[in-house]
A and B are shown apart, each in its own frame.
Chain A
Amino acid sequence: MAPVLLGVIPFGVVFGATAVDSGMGIVEVLGFSIVVFAGASQLAAVELLGDGGAVLVTSATIWVINLRHLMYGASLGTHLAGTSRPGRWLGAYLLTDQAYVVTVSRCTDAEPLVHDDRVPYLIGAGLGLWATWQAASVAGALLGAGIPDEVPLDFAVPLVFLTLLVPALRDRPSVLAAVVGGAATVAVAEAGLPDAALLLGALVGIAAGTIADAAGPSANDLASPGELT
């Protein structure tokens, strides 16, 4: 979990600094980080608002960026079926890219989490990320633009996801899903729709992997995924 939290810090700091730069106070920074709690969409929203964006356009941008959580909910929902509902409400609020990825990989491991431990695992991962995100947002708001940019800390975010991607590549369809998903995301962003790129790119990747899986020989389990430390 430690490197996942480490990757969130620069992102939160950049959000806080950008929000203050766009004319917001620390209360609004915390408002975004507590109520929305979704980094990429928060950053896009404060940039839009800073440029005079309208309320509905900015809110719709947040929705588009966060529609991907429907996929995460669909995927995790099947692993969490029958577990405590209050726990899942809290888990839903705490669901992020990172919490989804670490939880789903622990549910599909060679030695998966027992059923009753899954919601606590999601909440535990989520709370760690939540506290880190709030602290980093406030730190960014206080530090403002006074952050040295020699160390490319923003690169920690894709590095964490990249390291978690390797054990998720279990067979040919999943490799295809990842490669097509990544290429399509870059293509959509290049086409001028960076806010929708993650969602649309992932959907194209899911379609490619599913078609390959349905067309190919029956699914096989090749690799045992590595432990997340």
Chain B
Amino acid sequence: MSTAQVWAVIVLGGLGTFACRAVLLLGAERFGDPGVATARVLRMIPPAALGALVAPGVLRHGGELDVLSWRLVAAAAAVLVGWRTSNVTAAVVVGLGLLTALQQLT
């Protein structure tokens, strides 16, 4: 791997990434007001994306499936705290603290 190859990846990867970010963020309104069907699809993006962002971090570890782990317990505790308090900081601190404690104890 030469420095030139690394920079080629940085530039190509960066251009493609920026295109993905910009094309619809700036172009969405060209399609006019979204109809009922499109609005229905768009409304499902946040929950589906969040589910996809969360699940591997909780259910997989070290590149392998690991469903019944302390991560699941810590995640459940964080959900409970977040739901009761609406405080993301408290939820993250409780989840991380609990996972650290459980891993040290076992």
Give B19 Cβ to nearest chain A Cβ, in Å.
9
CA distance in complex: A74, B58 (Å): 27
Give A173 Cβ to nearest chain B Cβ, in Å.
7
Give residues 87-101 of B contacting A (CB, 8 Å): 87-89, 91-93, 95-96, 99-100
Give residues 47-83 of B contacting A (CB, 8 Å): 47-60, 63, 65, 71, 74-75, 78-79, 82-83
Which bracket fits the contact residues of A? 35 or more
Partner of A41, one of B17, B39, B60, B82: B17
Residues in chain A near residue B40, CB distance under 8 A: 210, 213-214, 219
Interface string of B12-25 (1 = CB under 8 A from A): 11101110111111
B5 & A49 in contact (Cβ 8 Å cutoff): yes
CA distance in complex: A35, B40 (Å): 34
B51 & A185 in contact (Cβ 8 Å cutoff): yes
A155 & B57 in contact (Cβ 8 Å cutoff): yes
CA distance in complex: A219, B40 (Å): 9
Residues in chain A near residue B39, CB distance under 8 A: 78
Residue of A nearest to B22 (CB): A92
B1 & A183 in contact (Cβ 8 Å cutoff): no
Q: A151-B100, A155-B74, A182-B54 are contacts. A45–B47 as well, Cβ < 8 Å?
A: no
A165 & B18 in contact (Cβ 8 Å cutoff): no
Q: Once A and B bind, how many residue pairs between them come within 8 Å at the CB atom?
A: 303
Which bracket fits the contact residues of B? 35 or more
A140 at interface by CB-CB < 8 Å:
no
CA distance in complex: A179, B50 (Å): 10
Give B69 Cβ to nearest chain A Cβ, in Å.
11
Residues in chain B near residue A59, CB distance under 8 A: 8-9, 12-13, 16
Residues in chain A near residue B95, CB distance under 8 A: 155, 159, 162
Residue numbers of B with Cβ under 8 A of A are 1, 3, 5-14, 16-18, 20-29, 34, 37, 39-60, 63, 65, 71, 74-75, 78-79, 82-83, 86-89, 91-93, 95-96, 99-100, 103-104
Residue numbers of A with Cβ under 8 A of B are 2-4, 6-7, 22-24, 28, 31-32, 35-38, 41, 45, 49-50, 52-53, 55-56, 58-59, 62-63, 66-78, 80-82, 85, 88-89, 91-93, 95, 97, 100-101, 104-105, 108, 150-169, 173-175, 177-186, 189-190, 194, 197-198, 201-206, 208-210, 213-214, 219, 226-229
Residue contacts A-B, CB under 8 angstroms, 24 given: A28-B3, A32-B10, A66-B20, A74-B24, A77-B28, A93-B21, A101-B46, A150-B104, A152-B100, A152-B103, A155-B74, A158-B57, A161-B57, A163-B88, A168-B50, A174-B44, A185-B52, A186-B55, A203-B48, A206-B44, A213-B44, A214-B40, A226-B82, A227-B86
